[in-house]
Amino acid sequence: MAEVVYIDPAQPSDHLIHQVAKVIKGGGIIIYPTETLYGLGANPFDPEAVERLFRIKGREAGKPIPFLIKDQEMLETLVADVPSTAKQLMEQYWPGPLTLIFRAKEGLPPLLRGEAGTIGVRISTHPIARLIVEAVDIPLTATSANPAGEKDLTDARSIAEILGDQVDLVIDGGNVAGQGSTVVDLTVDPPRVVRAGMIKFSPPFSKGG
């Protein structure tokens, strides 16, 4: 069973955040809180860590996973372009529970680009998640911490009972909202809502599956 470490989201410990970053940089996998759900965190530039994450999640290898980033400067290292609609959405909803799908920049590892050559990213409002991403200074995988197809859990201890023997560290940051981020695909015109989540949109966004 992985160690479960409590980090107070109101006053995150710098020491503990750096311990978490060390685990990720060392190829480990963590469970950590965001403002939506708990996530499975790994270094996406480490193929072995990502392969292990897919096994834990029970996710198809070709199915893309979302990432947290620290700022728009990091975004520009990952995407081919930032359309005007994206800039408007980012200004209004970032940081926040909105995942935006962009065309990925050429040269990124296949696991970052997905089969369709796209990448889904957001900036989290959760203080623990944001500090972790800042500490590792790379995108952080943000797929939900539950086996594929199973219900989402909102507390770290329950998640640890299910996945704790498969990860390296569990961060208990208290209960989370329990609803995923809204996902908008910006690679089509008009932009398409791929998944309804915490943020609600009205037309002109098209609805998609």
**pLDDT at site 114:** 80
Report the alpha-carbon distance of residue 34 to residue 144 in Å, rounded. 10
DSSP-derived secondary structure letter, 153: -
Q: Which of 7, 8, 35 is nearest to 178 (CA)?
A: 35
The rounded percent of the chain whose pLDDT value lies above 90 is 82
Q: Which two tokens stand for residue 66?
A: 């979302």
Average per-residue pLDDT for the chain: 92
The gap between the terminal CA atoms of the chain, to the nearest Å, is: 37
Q: Which of 13-27, 44-58, 190-204 has the lowest mean pLDDT?
A: 190-204
Q: For residue 120, give the 3-state DSSP assignment.
A: strand
Structural domains for the chain: 3-207 (3.90.870.10)
Count the neighbouring beta carbons within 10 Å of the beta carbon of residue 25.
14
**pLDDT at site 62:** 67
Answer whether 188's CB lies under 8 Å from 102's CB.
no
**pLDDT at site 25:** 97
- What would you measure as the largest C-alpha separation in the chain, in angstroms? 48
Q: How far is CA 51 from the centre of its chain?
A: 16
Q: How far is CA 121 from the centre of its chain?
A: 7
Beta-bridge partners for 68: 122, 140
Degrees to nearest 5, angle at CA 181 with 113 and 9: 105
User: Stretch 185-194: mean pLDDT, rounded?
Assistant: 92
Q: What is the pLDDT of residues 24-46, one digit of tens each?
A: 999 999 999 999 999 999 999 99
DSSP-derived secondary structure letter, 181: P
Helices 127-136 + 14-25 axis angle, to 10:
50
Answer whether 145's CB lies under 8 Å from 37's CB.
yes
Count the neighbouring beta carbons within 10 Å of the beta carbon of residue 207.
10
Please say whether the dihedral angle defined by the alpha carbons of residues 130, 137, 199 and 85, taken in this order, is positive or negative. positive
